[in-house]
Amino acid sequence: MSQITNPTSADPLSPLHGQVALITGSSSGIGAATARQLASVGATVVINSVHSVSAGEALAGELPGADYVQADVADEEQAHRLIETVIQRHGRLDVLVNNAGATVVIPHGDLEAATPEIWRRIFDVNVIGTWQVTVAAVPHLVASGRGQVVNVSSIAGERPTGSSIPYACSKAAVSHMTRLLANTLGPDIRVNAVAPGLVDTPWTAEWDTVRAYVQAQAPLRRIATSEDVAEMIYGLIRASYVTGEVVLVDGGLNLR
């Protein structure tokens, strides 16, 4: 993993100098690591969450020029207000990272436990939320002249695995949405996704059995950090001739 440097957002030599990046679900975990990564290369970042408001505000306070907006991406009105607030405060939007997500841990064989209510709750955040924020952002990303979207999917959307069947299906939808939007929105907007395997976040803190399996089976013999995923998100932002790709970030676990 490369070392994160710390140029200020005012540094004209920073790769994302002058750009504004919104990262949804960014008060902790992958979202927070992505906010730090993009801020370190000059972007003005907007932190978002629906809960953990104090953590989101604290993170924004650490990063030059950053601010925080509380909004539930699953709610259509709040999703649109989130984008409107970014434009009101910063006048532009160049990068959207759709990281907000939800899951429920249910063994795949326990079909009765995966109730329609759980399906709706997970899809409302992971799929509908991603869609609503993206649609609201599109005019501003086009106006940027270099706008792009990076979605956070999961290896569960590419392989028959994951914390539950509803979650895996929601991430499969995010992966395919990424390809469809890339095909539709080019050349004005690039759309890509990362698909992490197991990541060391508050979500997975007690998943000891899964951790042991990944550490034993993945060619790189460790689970991912949030910074590993943030590094790939930044890589896709920099990769100007890449669109419609869903990149696995799993230490090679899919090979096994």
Write out the two tokens for 220: 């790189």
Instruction: Decide: 134 and 80 in contact? Cβ < 8 Å.
Output: no
Report which of 62, 59, 36 is spatially closest to residue 49, judged by C-alpha positions. Answer: 59
Task: Give the per-residue pLDDT at 3.
Answer: 44
Residue-level pLDDT, tens digit, the chain, 256 residues = 444 445 454 566 688 999 999 999 999 999 999 999 999 999 999 999 999 999 999 999 999 999 999 999 999 999 999 999 999 999 999 999 999 999 999 999 999 999 999 999 999 999 999 999 999 999 999 999 999 999 999 999 999 999 999 999 999 999 999 999 999 999 999 999 999 998 887 767 777 787 788 888 888 888 889 999 999 999 999 999 999 999 999 998 888 8
pLDDT tens-digit readout, 153-177: 999 999 999 999 999 999 999 999 9
What 8-state DSSP symbol labels residue 3?
A: P
Instruction: Decide: 99 and 150 in contact? Cβ < 8 Å.
Output: no
Task: Give the per-residue pLDDT at 10.
Answer: 58
Write out the two tokens for 166: 């509803």
Catalytic residues: 167
Write out the two tokens for 55: 């953590």
Instruction: Decide: 198 and 152 in contact? Cβ < 8 Å.
Output: no
Helix (H, G, I), strand (E, B) or coil at 7: coil
> CA 45 to CA 197: how far, in whole Å?
25
Write out the two tokens for 152: 């956070």
Instruction: Decide: 167 and 126 in contact? Cβ < 8 Å.
Output: yes
Task: Give the per-residue pLDDT at 222.
Answer: 87
Q: Residue 37 is which amino acid?
A: Q
Q: Residue 22 is which amino acid?
A: L
15: left (phi over 0), alpha (psi -120 to 50) or beta: alpha
